[in-house]
Amino acid sequence: MTEMLPSRLRRIEAAQYLRGRHGIVRKPQTLAKMACLGDGPNVQLDGRTPLYPLIELDRWAEAHLSELRNKSSHALAA
């Protein structure tokens, strides 16, 4: 991602960012549902508009990715 990103993204941009930066595929509708259930990235509201801080998207993605593995049943030693 070479262009300068804003510090907060709208939901559709957040979905694109998660895919492009972390390889995590979530539709904007899924992010909306996750925001209601409380298991998605932290979000801020500007009125009714949800805004996702980049740092929170990165933090959430890292927390949901597993350790590196060389076999499906083994984690690599750190």
pLDDT at residue number 77: 55
Residue 46, domain member (yes or no): yes
Amino acid at 17: Y
Number of domains in the chain: 1
Q: Using CA atoms, how far apart are residues 58 and 4, in angstroms rounded to an integer? A: 16
Query: Which residues span the domain enclosing 17?
Result: 8-64
In a domain, 56, yes or no: yes
**1 is a domain residue:** no
Classify residue 77: in a domain, yes or no: no
| 55 part of a folded domain | yes
In a domain, 71, yes or no: no
Query: Within 10 Å of residue 53's Cβ, how many Cβ atoms?
Result: 17
| Within a domain: 2 | no
Would you say residue 31 lies in a domain?
yes
3-state SS assignment for residue 8:
strand
Please name the helix (run of DSSP H) or strand (run of DSSP E) that holds residue 49, with its range, or none.
strand 49-53
Token pair of 38 as six digits: 């409380």
Written as tens digits, the pLDDT of the chain (78 aa) is 446 888 999 999 999 999 999 999 999 999 999 999 999 999 999 999 999 999 999 999 999 998 888 877 665 555
Q: Could you tell me the two tokens for 40?
A: 């998605």
